[in-house]
Homo-oligomer: A and B are copies of this chain.
Amino acid sequence: MSFRVTIADVARAAGVHPSTVSRALNPTTRDMVTQAVAARVAEVADRLGWRPSAVAAGLRTRKSRTIGILVPDLVNPVFPPIVRAAEARLAEAGYVALLANTDTDAAREALLIERMAAHLVDGLMLASAASGSRALELCERLRIPVVLINRRLPDACVPAVVNDDRRGMALAVRHLVDLGHTHIGHIAGPPGVSTAADRQAGFLAALAAAGLDDRPAPIVAADAYTAAAGRLAMERLLATHRFSAVAVANDMLCLGAYDALAAAGLAVGTDISVTGFNDMPFVDRISPPLTTVRIQHAEMGRQAAKVLIAEMANGTPMSRDIVLEPELVVRSSSGPPAAASPGKPQVVDRPWRLYD
């Protein structure tokens, strides 16, 4: 004997046909049935403890009220706030979230998408878009509505919820310029990722706007958005260039950059200024607290959910990306160039404490 009570059980107990029960219990078709019947059916269903089977309904309707969320690595603190907000919004709308980590592995990503497709996800939120990925064509073939989070994809015709990365990085550079820095370096993100390209573009544009583009800017690209890559990048930057400030493409990279600077005996915020990007949780409590570009984590998750829900309703993807405005948060990792400190004379040719 099964302990599951089905629509047929309710129908029997209420003395009506299963179809009627279905109509009475389904909010969208309730008005196809007499108020009286609806009430009685509802009462009986409740009494019997009936619970709709999302699986059976899904098989019939080809909709699972389920959406998948793919992140590269949940342990990266940028993602939890986004995922959390998205999940909350989706839950409100009656959806359940499937979560998976791709490890930025294209094969794994494809596998996960296939698996989620098998579970008939109604939509997919991709926070892991990279240029090499064939995720999008896969989703298109599978006819799964998609929304990109945090990253765009070149000439992709799927909606994306992103930050204004150019503007955000420009904010950081402008801040450094205002502090008096004239030799500003950049640690860029990994190639093939839109945030890396956009932030680097913003960096260069801001430098130009400040009239600081007379010489090539010191730029090193990190291999990945990890602390280890950040350390390596900063080490290379220190070994090959002179600068008094570095605008870094990502907070995670900053952690490694801090390590490299510490190892070189340089004090962050006084010897060398550092700015990050994301304002991920806890960078306000590291030492020194990081000046960074705050993105709207939660709003990003909410908007992504909203876009996806709309897309699933309309059946047609939104054409325009949603661009969120970033905001500069000034903390102690940035300050005036060392030689410009009160009491120290400004030396024109070499005004900064350097690693050489």
Measuring CB to CB, which residues of chain A are less than 8 angstroms from any residue of chain B? 3, 51-56, 58-59, 64, 66, 69, 73-75, 77, 79-81, 83-84, 87-88, 91, 94, 96-101, 112, 114-120, 143, 255, 258, 281-282, 285-288
Q: How far is the CB of A156 from chain B (nearest CB, A)?
A: 21
- List of B residues within 8 angstroms of A119 by Cβ: 54-55, 64, 66, 96
A87: which of B53, B81, B101, B258 is its contact (CB, 8 Å)? B101
Contact (A96, B116) CB under 8 Å given A3-B143, A255-B285: yes
Q: Which of B77, B91, B100 contacts A282 (CB 8 A)?
A: B77
Answer whether A75 and B64 are a contact pair too, CB < 8 Å, given A55-B59, A58-B55, A285-B286. Answer: no
Across the interface, A51 reaches (CB within 8 A) one of B83, B97, B100, B118, namely B118
- Where chain A touches its partner, the secondary structure class is mixed
Q: A97-B99, A115-B96 are in contact. Are A75 and B66 (CB under 8 A)?
A: no
- A287 partner residues in chain B, CB cutoff 8 A: 285-288
In the A-B complex, list the 10 residue pairs whose CB atoms are closest, starting with the nearest.
A287-B287, A99-B99, A54-B118, A285-B286, A282-B282, A74-B84, A74-B80, A54-B119, A75-B80, A55-B120
Instruction: Tell me whether A74 and B83 are in contact in the complex, defined as CB-CB below 8 angstroms, given that A53-B118, A59-B55, A100-B91 are known contacts.
Output: yes
With contacts A143-B3, A285-B255 known, is A97 near B96, CB below 8 A?
no
| CB-based contact A98/B98 at 8 Å | yes
A87 CB contacts on chain B under 8 angstroms: 74, 99-101
List B contacts of A96 (CB < 8 A). 98, 100, 115-116, 119
Kindly state the separation between the CA atoms of A270 and B98 in the bound complex, as whole angstroms. Answer: 46
A55-B119, A56-B59, A80-B80 known; A281 vs B97 contact (CB < 8 Å): no
| Assembly CA distance A54 to B66 (angstroms) | 13
Q: Least Cβ distance of A352 to chain B in Å? A: 25
A112 to chain B, nearest CB (A): 7
- Once A80-B80, A96-B100, A101-B88 are accepted as A-B contacts, the answer to whether A52 and B118 lie under 8 Å apart by CB is yes
Q: Chain B residues with Cβ under 8 A from A101's Cβ?
A: 84, 87-88
Chain B nearest Cβ from A2, distance in angstroms: 9
* Cα separation A91 to B114 with both chains bound (whole Å): 12
Neighbour of A120 across the interface among B53, B73, B84, B258, CB < 8 A:
B53
* Chain B residues whose C-beta falls within 8 Å of the C-beta of A91 in the assembled complex: 100, 112, 115
- Which residue of chain B has the shortest Cβ distance to A95 in the bound complex? B115
